Amino acid sequence: MPSINTSDLIKLTQKLVRVPSEAGDEKQVSELLLDEMAALGFDQVWMDENGSVVGMIEGAQPGATLLFDGHMDTVGIAPGLTWEHLPFGGEIADGRLYGRGSTDMKGPLAAMITAAGSVERKQIHGKIAVSASVMEEVLEGVALQTVMEVVEPEMVVIGEPSDLRLIHGGRGRAEILLEAIGRPSHSSAPELGLNAVQAIIPALQTLETLELPSHPLVGRAILALTDIISEPYPGHSVIPSRCRVTFDRRLMPGETPASVLAPFKELPTLPGAKLQVRIAKGEYRTFTGKLLEREKWFPAWLLEKSHPFIRAAAHGLEKAGLAVAFGTYNFCTNAAYSIGIAGIPTIGFGPSPEGLAHVVDEYIEVDQLVKAAHGYKGIIESVLAK
């Protein structure tokens, strides 16, 4: 039986880290992965209309399709902050592989590809698919939807960092726009207008005291103000007539747009002003030129630990020599589509803790990277083997 080639796994991770790939600029990484999957013997490898790369391995016997998903886009490098290790160097020091995307999530992606390529086909009933999806950092699950419409998986594994825990749920995310409409006037006579910035302040103060729901497994909901924009800007001698505030709302299982927006529709404002609230819409163009559009509502999800897929995955991790610990994601992932919208049984499993994503001097422990690859292989063999 082929084994995990640790050296090749590390080299692939370094290759991926050394190629910058912010959301919308993943072309070089996608081309690299087309070649890597083909070299590993995937039966089919293709790039879809969004630029996501998909590899397929056919088992010896018919059966279910198991999809592993890892996004190849990353966040950028924050200006003004110094990295001790080059962000695109792929340097290894003290057992850590450094670089942007090492944890989130080029390391997990390399581990999934390497694990799938090492599986003995004659033992597999069904198909193994690995998707390297685009644009996850800005529109969770939108590119994965295109992949799933072609692959049609019965089960999905999200490879986001989980510190090698078996993940069975996660928070969702919504972007909410709250807008106040006032009335302009010359700033030498502010009493003739209605300042939209001042009008929205009572609403913001009320939201500071808003009670948010919690879930015993997924945690608590979060409402974070992320920007305030007034118009016109710059306000040359004019009272602002419009003020828009954006909130990041972390979602709990079972929440709906109506339930989340309901408290916003009761907020106070200054007399004469109007408040409007809505879910924001995202529009982003991929490097292939495809326009991805979606309301920014990405639901939370939860799969019961008694589900057969989870039991089989846990068995596979045990067979791979890993201790099984369960958990849920604090952040939002592509699972918002795979199970949150499409309803396909989904789990998460990946190396490295969540807290190493998006940070200066991002790194992944090489030991965790290797263990994750063995874990992915164990999941495949347990779920799809005879």
**Rounded to 5 degrees, what angle do the CA atoms 145, 148, 149 make?**
85
Query: So what's the pLDDT on residue 368?
Result: 98
The DSSP secondary structure of 117-173, one letter per residue, reads HTS-GGGBEEEEEEEEES-TTTSTTHHHHHHHHHH--SEEEE-S--TT-EEEEE-EE
**Among candidates 41, 43, 63, 37, which has minimal Cα distance to 131?**
37
* pLDDT mean over 237-252: 97
Q: Where are the domains of the chain?
A: 6-171+300-384, 172-285
Task: Report pLDDT digits (tens) over 77-114.
Answer: 988 889 999 999 999 999 999 999 999 999 999 999 99
Query: So what's the pLDDT on residue 2?
Result: 57
Task: Report pLDDT digits (tens) over 283-303.
Answer: 999 999 999 999 999 999 999
Q: Does domain 6-171+300-384 have CATH number 3.40.630.10?
A: yes
Does residue 221 sit in helix, strand or coil? coil
Residue 1 binned pLDDT confidence (cut-offs 50, 70, 90): very low
Q: Determine the CATH number of domain 172-285.
A: 3.30.70.360
Number of helical H runs and strand E runs in the chain: 9, 21
Amino acid at 245: V
Task: Report pLDDT digits (tens) over 50-82.
Answer: 999 999 999 999 999 999 999 999 999 988 889
CB hemisphere CA count around 173 (13 angstroms): 25
Q: What is the pTM of this model?
A: 0.94
* pLDDT mean over 266-270: 95
* pLDDT mean over 263-271: 95
Query: So what's the pLDDT on residue 385?
Result: 86
Query: So what's the pLDDT on residue 206?
Result: 97
Task: Report pLDDT digits (tens) over 302-354.
Answer: 999 999 999 999 999 999 999 999 999 999 999 999 999 999 999 999 999 99
Distance CA 368, CA 9 (A): 12
* pLDDT mean over 122-145: 96
Residue 386 binned pLDDT confidence (cut-offs 50, 70, 90): low
CB hemisphere CA count around 319 (13 angstroms): 15
Query: So what's the pLDDT on residue 84?
Result: 96
Q: Are 287 and 25 in contact (CB under 8 A)?
A: yes
Q: Does residue 130 have a pLDDT over 90?
A: yes
